[in-house]
Amino acid sequence: MAKANQHVVPSGKGVWNVRRSGADRATKSFTTQNHAINFARKIAKRNDSELFIHGRDGTIRDRESYGKDPCPPEDHK
């Protein structure tokens, strides 16, 4: 089963929505982006998925990954 990535996206109504990838409706709406990010981060951590944070213009401005990385960076110690 594919992991349910979370997106924090602006709404045309001046609120921020947390939406699962591929979903038609928002999981939950918030008055501030920070509250939406904190809520979405908890879901992404629980699902070992990714969090995409969109800016006011809708473009992705940040991305956070949770879970096991299939290609972790090499340790050069």
Does the reported pTM lie above 0.85? no
For the chain, the distance separating the N- and C-terminal CA atoms, rounded to the nearest angstrom, is: 36
pLDDT tens per residue, range 11-23: 988 899 999 999 9
- 51 near 5, Cβ under 8 Å? yes
The domain ranges of the chain are 6-55
Give the DSSP letter string of 15-66: -EEEEETT-SS-SEEESSHHHHHHHHHHHHHHHT-EEEEE-TTSSEEEEEE-
Please write the tens of the pLDDT for every residue from 19-55.
Answer: 999 999 999 999 999 999 999 999 999 999 999 999 9
